[in-house]
Structure 1
Amino acid sequence: MAQRNTLQYIILGLLSQAPRTGYELTQDFAHEIGEFWQAQHSQIYPLLGKMEAQGLIAHTVEVTGTKLEKKRYRNTAEGQAVLTAWVGSPTPTMATTKDEFVLKLYFVQRADDTRLPGMIKEQLRIHREWLQHLEARRQLLFADPDAASQQFGHYLILDHALTRERQYVQWLEEQLARLPHN
């Protein structure tokens, strides 16, 4: 089965919210979308050209200052139809995560491995910091109860991320407590 180009759907979704420049799209991946999906500048810009050639998006040129030209992209009717169809389509596969820490754990042979306490403590620090970041994002974006109803999908994603991080921190704490060397 061919893999979907999920990045194109994310771009269509962002453009459905408001027209954006390539730079603004890149910033969305660094902040909002980056909490659950990664994409680099080197992936985004070539895809914009491809999507425009396919008729999914179009751009207008804006001049800022005396010389700087920026392309501001928006969805075409065809692009909006593709996005609408994708959002409503089934998601039949379970997502897999690439977690290097968990992969390393797979190769640890013994509970008394002296590397384990340090590894787990490092992950606890990282995940606690990320949990604090997510809690701050929720406070910033959804302190007003009406905000959650206006951006319900974003609210659900953030709630999912918070739940996942709380469970990960709890699991790490439990594993650290089980170790003979902690």
Structure 2
Amino acid sequence: MTIRHQISQPGKQGSFMNNNRKSRTLYAILGFLCSKPRSGYDIKKAIEKSVGFFWSESYGQIYPMLKKLEAEGLAVRVKEEEPSSRRRQRYAITDKGKQVLADWIKEDADYGGFRNELLLKLFFGSTVDPAISIRHLEDFIKHEKQRLEMFEGFNSTLPRNGKEMTPNLIFLAATLNYGLSGTKHNIQWAEDTIQMLKDMDIT
């Protein structure tokens, strides 16, 4: 994937952006700034409450990136009407920032970088008692059922009438459906795998 926008570090040539997971932090932040001005704290909480099931950012990534976005003119600090030492500094996206975000969305997505410790342990499962793999799978099912309950709770808050679905809600529903279908699949896969291990009589 070609990155068209490069943001340079002060005092250094080139770009701090590259084709890896960390470089996507700036796009995640710009995306959340599109709806309204937010502080680093606001962005972190918004991520946890919305896209947290497939994307995460730490404060250590968010705050430095906000400063870099401001330096490059992609975001600006919001002047508060009532300044307070306790008030968190909020940032707003600029037109330039909106264009950078739009250009990135138009690019091909990167599907790489998948890591799953459960699958890695399962791959080497023949080196230990099979009961251990079954225990891991049972724990995984419990975890996924909790996630499924959360997704179904979010889904129940969406309008049932299609006419009430705004463009923002439609795209939100699309990502939520990914979580719902993926979690259901994961549960079924784990249950099938447990049964397969038992049917092979290796326990």
Do the aligned partners of 1:124 and 1:172 also contact (CA within 8 Å) in 2? Answer: yes
Runs in 1 of length 4+ with deviation above 6 angstroms? none
**2:151 counterpart residue number:** 134
Match of 1:122 in 2: 139
C-alpha displacement at 1:108, in angstroms?
A: 0.9
**CA distance 1:84–1:179, shift in 2 (3 Å):** same
Shift of 1:142: 4.4
C-alpha change, 1:37 and 1:150, in structure 2 (3 Å) is closer
Aligned pair 1:16/2:54, yes or no? no
In the alignment, the residues of structure 2 paired with residue 52 and residue 149 of structure 1 have an alpha-carbon distance, to the nearest angstrom, of: 28
Greater strand proportion: 1
**Change over 3 Å in CA distance of 1:64–1:127 after alignment to 2:** farther
Is the CA contact (8 Å cut-off) linking 1:111 and 1:179 kept in structure 2?
A: no
- What is the aligned partner in structure 1 of residue 125 from structure 2? 108
User: Does structure 1 residue 71 correspond to structure 2 residue 81?
Assistant: no
Counterpart position of 1:3: 19
* 1:58 match: secondary structure: strand
How far did residue 16 of structure 1 move? Answer: 0.8
Measure the CA separation in 2 of the matches of 1:78 and 1:43: 21
- TM-score w.r.t. the length of structure 2 is 0.79
| Identity over aligned pairs, percent | 25
What is the alpha-carbon distance in structure 2 between the residues aligned to residue 58 and residue 160 of structure 1? 33
Q: Are positions 1:86 and 2:104 aligned together? A: yes
Structure 1: tracts of 5 or more residues without a match: none
Partner Cα separation in structure 1 for residue 152 and residue 47 of structure 2: 19
Partner Cα separation in structure 2 for residue 8 and residue 135 of structure 1: 30
Q: CA RMSD in A?
A: 2.4
Is the alpha carbon distance of 1:34 and 1:102 closer, same or farther for their aligned partners in structure 2, counting shifts above 3 Å? same
**Residue type of the alignment partner of 1:104:** K
Contact 2:30 2:101 in 1 (8 A): yes
1:23 aligned counterpart, secondary structure: helix
CA distance in 2, matches of 1:69, 1:168: 42
Query: Once the 2 structures are TM-superposed, how far is the Cα of residue 87 of structure 1 from its aligned partner?
Result: 1.1
- Please give the TM-score of this superposition, normalised by the length of structure 1: 0.88
2 CA distance for matches of 1:46 and 1:144? 42
Instruction: Name the amino acid aligned to 2:60.
Output: S
Matched positions, count:
181
CA contact (8 A) 2:75 2:93 kept: yes
Q: Distance in 2 between matches of 1:131 and 1:81?
A: 35
- In structure 1, what is the Cα distance between the partners aligned to 2:42 and 2:161? 25
Q: Distance in 2 between matches of 1:148 and 1:126?
A: 32
C-alpha distance in structure 1 between counterparts of 2:134 and 2:62, whole Å: 40
For 1:102, give the aligned amino acid: L
